[in-house]
Amino acid sequence: MDDKVTLNDTVALMRDLRKRCEWDAAQTHESLRPYLVEESLELDEAIRDGNSPLMREELGDVLLQVLFHSTIAEERGEFDVNDVARGLITKMKGRHPHLYGDGAKEPWEKMKSKKRLSIGDDLPASLPPLHRAHRLQDRAAGVGFDWPNADGPAAKVEEELAEVREHLANVPPAAHGAPPAHDAAHAELESELGDLLFACVNLCRKAGVHASLALDKANAKFEARFKEIERIARERGLDLHTAGLEALDSIWNEVKSAER
């Protein structure tokens, strides 16, 4: 196979598959939606794991989705992949008026805020809550509603945590496995915990960290540590269900110490 493959070759391949492969020819924008989500998540995992060979493969799968949708649209006379590329170039040059024109350098969110009617415009409804919180805060910052540094958000986290502690005193602890009591006190606690999470996201943002990425890494770290607890417990003949918090916490500290 010729190593000098271009993006034009991928477009030609996609057009050919639409003509000669029954499965490819049967696909629609709607039928391809699950694949786009799946391929995007697989690429995200490859990036998270720092797996460059897999990343290259998954980028190809995401590119396939771009080509698929562009070719379907071309067949319907709506647009083609060249229109997609043209739109991308126009958008990127518009984001950098100081590089591709005589405009002043300006934050992207500030530029976009001038075109939006409301803060939530064009944010996907299915955007994960942590990511949505980050984007809403980004957009608010674009119009100047933001702290100058991380001190403000840090103080806000402390304030919200204090309010959560007050509400916890009014809500009895739920029994293990039992559904929470959905009364007024629980609803108020849920609201305050939401405010606390939102404040934590804002602190992450001002510290230059994306909350969803930070939580993803924390999840992976916790899972790895707990798997090690399970391994050690098996070696020592301990039953996790009956060992008790003190014993498990002691193993947890062992695992943490071994990481240093």
Query: Quick one: pLDDT band at residue 7, thresholds 50, 70, 90?
Result: very high
Taking each helix axis as running N to C, give the angle between helix 151-168 and helix 184-206, from 0 to 180 degrees, rounded to the nearest 10. Answer: 160
Compute the C-alpha angle 153/154/158, nearest 5°.
Answer: 110
- Domains assigned to the chain: 7-95 (1.10.287.1080), 214-259 (no CATH)
Question: Mean per-residue pLDDT for 233-244?
Answer: 94
Query: Quick one: pLDDT band at residue 111, thresholds 50, 70, 90?
Result: confident
> For residue 37, what pLDDT is reported?
92
Q: Which two tokens stand for residue 116?
A: 């939006």
> For residue 116, what pLDDT is reported?
83
- Residues 249, 251: Cα–Cα separation, whole Å: 5
75: nearest Cα among 87, 85, 67 = 67
> For residue 175, what pLDDT is reported?
54
- Residues 195, 68: Cα–Cα separation, whole Å: 41
146-160, 177-191, 203-217, 225-239: least confident range: 177-191
pLDDT in tens, 62-89: 999 999 999 999 999 999 999 999 999 9
Q: Is the pLDDT of residue 1 over 70?
A: no
> For residue 25, what pLDDT is reported?
96
CA of residue 221 relative to chain centroid, distance: 18
Q: Are 130 and 201 in contact (CB under 8 A)?
A: yes
Query: Quick one: pLDDT band at residue 2, thresholds 50, 70, 90?
Result: low
Q: Are 150 and 203 in contact (CB under 8 A)?
A: yes
pLDDT in tens, 125-181: 889 999 999 999 999 998 999 999 999 999 999 999 999 999 998 887 665 555 666
- Per residue in 109-141, is it b (16+ CB within 10 Å) or e — as a string? eeebbeeeeebeeeeeeeeeebbbbbbbbbbeb
Higher pLDDT, 156 or 4: 156
Task: Note if the pTM is more than 0.85.
Answer: no
- pLDDT averaged over every residue in the chain: 92
Question: Mean per-residue pLDDT for 90-97?
Answer: 91
Q: Is the pLDDT of residue 117 over 90?
A: no
